[in-house]
Amino acid sequence: MDKAISNKGEGSDTPKSKLDIFYKVDIVVIGAGQAGLSAAYYLKKEGIEPGKGFVVLDDEIGAGGAWQHRWNSLTLSNVNGINDLPGMGFSEAVNKDDKKLQANVALPQYYEKYEKTFELPVIRPIRVQEVTEKNGRFLIKTNDVQFSARGIINATGTWKTPHCPKYPGWEKFKGRQLHTGQYINAEEFIGKHVIIVGGGISAVQLLGEISKVTKTTWVTRRPPDFRNYEFNPDLGREAVAMVEERVREGLPPKSVVSVTGLPITPAIQDMLTNGVLDRKPMFQEITETGVKWEDGTEIEADVIFWNTGFRHSLDHLKSLDLVNDLEGIEMSGKLATQVKKDPRIHLTGYGPSASTIGANRAGRVAARELIETLNLLK
């Protein structure tokens, strides 16, 4: 990597700190989850030199992206979709026939072997705090080494930005409130009444687990969208296309699950049969001891468990002013990964590429399109 002295003059006698020096590379990939590793693989395959040509910045201690933080009960028997990374199948690193193997163990093993096999230049742990632009280059400011780049592939995903709608009375509740990302296992709730909020796949799965060991109440903003079909790749691609259409129009992306609904699996059918999925509408406020509905109905609870999704982790790009008045980012390119306002920036893991279905293809296309854009700007 070429060094570019930023804050101190060449002749200064003052020692340079990490905050004073920006290392020059062509491309910085932010995030080493599935989308980031896929992009890194294709950058190298296209001839961009690891280290000098591109680096991958990741704020985790080890490999595995968000997978290393998933709950212990998520195993290879019930995980929703593990897609092979390009060039190396999951089965080459992990015994996928071991259905009891935890996803938070298996995927980090896979990603670690992948990074080492292809010698990807992943730097960790390092957190990107802000990206600004100066003299036609992006300045990537971190809590450690600083970087200067001509182009960016942002692959930060959503796991680090949980969304919890703060209903009136939020601060009054004397019990425990937690989000999906903080869940460990159902046993921690034994003997407690748990209100589970949310209508997505995670909410339903965790409701099923927790209801086996303690009392639960299920609450959603809208009636759950159960659909009697078996999810397949064709339906997945159709859902991704619908999400893609939104981001090309500059609208905030919806999740793929919001398009596909919840297919009635054998596990969900059992829950329906046993009355576990007795859904109540969203409460109006939170009290000291529980929740209250508009008609005055109240129930007491020990825990409010928010399975209300995540937001895309893009705060570090705020200075680039990419978000429009619709609170979306207008996207372009073959797979809608390229920011229309600035084609030197690609967002993988955003919109249609937020799913495991779309992340690999997005990494390949983003790498190629960004290289082409930067070549034209030389």
Longest dimension (CA), the chain: 77
**Nearest CA among 291, 27, 59 for reference residue 173:** 291
C-alpha 109/C-alpha 89 separation (Å) is 12
What pLDDT score was predicted for residue 213?
A: 95
Query: Is the model's pLDDT at 11 over the cut of 50?
Result: no
Query: For residues 351 and 166, which has the higher predicted lDDT (pLDDT)?
Result: 166
Give the DSSP letter string of 147-216: EEEEEEEE---STTSB-----TTGGG--SEEEEGGG---GGGGTTS-EEEE--SHHHHHHHHHHHTTS-E
What pLDDT score was predicted for residue 218?
A: 96
H or E segment and range at residue 2 = strand 2-5
What pLDDT score was predicted for residue 310?
A: 80
What pLDDT score was predicted for residue 20?
A: 67
The model's pLDDT over 31-54, given as tens digits with 9 standing for 90+, comes to 999 999 999 999 999 999 999 999
Q: Tokens representing 135?
A: 């003299």
Mean pLDDT taken over the chain: 87
What pLDDT score was predicted for residue 355?
A: 64
What pLDDT score was predicted for residue 224?
A: 85
Q: Tokens representing 175?
A: 């019990």
Query: Is the model's pLDDT at 341 over the cut of 80?
Result: yes
Residue whose tokens read 């690193």: 93
What pLDDT score was predicted for residue 81?
A: 67
Report the pLDDT averaged over residues 207-233. 86
C-alpha 121/C-alpha 56 separation (Å) is 6
